[in-house]
Amino acid sequence: MKSRINIKTILALLIVCIIALAALVHMRNTKHSASPQYVLRYADNQPDGYPTTQAARFFADQVYKRSGGRIKILIYCDELLGTESDTIKQVQFGGIDFARVSTAQLSEFAPDLTLLALPFLYDDSKHMWNVLNSELGDRMLDAAKDADVIGLSWYDAGVRSFYTTYPIDSLEDLKGMTIRVQISYLMDDFVRCLGANPIAITYSSVYPKLKTGSIQGAENNLPSYEASRHYEVAKYLLLDEHSRIPEMQIMSKNLLEILPAEDISLIQKCAKESSVFEHKLWEKREKHALEYVVNMGVEVNYLSNSERQKFRKACEPIYKKYSKYVTDYEDLMNQIEKLK
Ligand code: GCU
């Protein structure tokens, strides 16, 4: 009799313990998803579903999971937190914690970065990634410090080409045309050297300006041309493939004072992993974008070899000018050449 009571008591206690443990685990999980310790903000001017914003979500998920739910990063797409150059400024003073930005625009604040955005610099995507994944690439991530932000990782942004409201296929055709450029001295100089008239406006202003005819063209990579629907209002694509402008994930240096060192390392690791993720998405999206715009009635033109030579020749003054702004320019150019 005595021992039966004991077994019953022990069984009851065991059940109570299991229920209490399950409740505790549930509370812990609920607490993590309901109230993370840090809620951080990330800006990207591209729409949801674009390779860079998908990779940003991957980055945020990894940080959330691997920090045990303590760090939650909210992703704001579509210029929701401001134009690209505004988001750079906000990351500088800590209003935004992270952003994905074009090197062309970041180089306005960190001139060494103009090196990586020079026209006709890389032979192809592989060459660019050899550079980004080399010591030189690390040095350039570090150069983001000159812009008062921290460079975390590189994202692919393919190769840029011109698209216009009437067909063009030569340097002569570009002369005098009003072409939108990013808010970047480098891109302004580039278009000017080709004899066109550059107008620096934000990404979201391009569509209406093309539509009303106040600009006759712009230049961008294929996924942007497709996602921004610029192909609807500038149906002529000249695949001249003039510039590869890598993009960077940047972080506010304020986080160094807020987060413990292990969390910063975790963020850096997840950012690098998201770069590999984005690169794969990018390749697929680039192919899809070309097929898509062609199906939508875009006329694609190519540069003849002799025209390509003329484009390159016209860019020579840019190399001369920007060699003055980039530290160790000659040496770095030699390194880039060797990384082909
Ligand atoms: C690319 C890039 C954007 C940039 C845009 C532009 O689409 O991904 O970050 O803003 O070019 O031309 O402004």
| pLDDT value at 200 more than 80 | yes
Is the Cβ atom of 104 under 6 angstroms away from ligand 1?
no
The CA 203 to ligand 1 mean position distance, Å, reads 6
Residue 82's pLDDT is: 98
Handedness of CA 45, 263, 36, 16 (dihedral sign): positive
Is the Cβ atom of 203 under 6 angstroms away from ligand 1?
yes
Residue 31's pLDDT is: 46
Residue 30's pLDDT is: 44
CB 210 within 8 A of CB 234: yes
Residue 19's pLDDT is: 53
Percent of the chain at pLDDT > 90 equals 90
Is the Cβ atom of 277 under 6 angstroms away from ligand 1?
no
| Complete edge-to-edge strand list for the sheet that includes strand 247-252 | 71-76, 38-43, 98-102, 247-252, 149-155
This prediction's pTM = 0.90
| pLDDT value at 21 more than 60 | no
CB 249 within 8 A of CB 141: no
For helices 135-143 and 125-132, what crossing angle results, to 10°? Answer: 70
pLDDT in tens, 41-83: 999 999 999 999 999 999 999 999 999 999 999 999 999 999 9
Percent of the chain at pLDDT > 70 equals 90
| pLDDT value at 15 more than 90 | no
CB 150 within 8 A of CB 109: no
Take residue 279 and report the two structure tokens written for it. Answer: 């690169």
pLDDT in tens, 243-275: 999 999 999 999 999 999 999 999 999 999 999
Tell which one of 44, 46, 202, 286 to mutate to probe ligand 1, the residue whose CB is within 8 A of the most ligand atoms.
46
Residue nearest atom 2 in ligand 1 by C-alpha distance: 102
Is the Cβ atom of 102 under 6 angstroms away from ligand 1?
yes
Structure confidence at residue 29 as a pLDDT band (50, 70, 90): very low
Residue nearest atom 13 in ligand 1 by C-alpha distance: 203
Half-sphere exposure of 54 (CA within 13 A, CB side): 12
| pLDDT value at 26 more than 60 | no
Q: What 3 state SS string does 268-322 have? A: HHHHHHHHHHHHHHHHHHHHHHHHHHHHCCCEEEECCHHHHHHHHHHCHHHHHHH
Residue nearest atom 10 in ligand 1 by C-alpha distance: 203
Residue 323's pLDDT is: 98
pLDDT in tens, 89-148: 999 999 999 999 999 999 999 999 999 999 999 999 999 999 999 999 999 999 999 999
pLDDT in tens, 307-334: 999 999 999 999 999 999 999 999 999 9
CB 199 within 8 A of CB 180: yes
Using CA atoms, how far apart are residues 242 and 217, in angstroms rounded to an integer? 15
Residue nearest atom 3 in ligand 1 by C-alpha distance: 102
Q: What are phi and psi of 110, to 5 degrees?
A: -135, 85
Instruction: Indicate which atom in ligand 1 lies nearest the CA of residue 104.
Output: 4
Of 26-35, 117-126, 285-294, the poorest mean pLDDT is in: 26-35
- The mean of the pLDDT values for the chain is 93
Residue nearest atom 9 in ligand 1 by C-alpha distance: 102
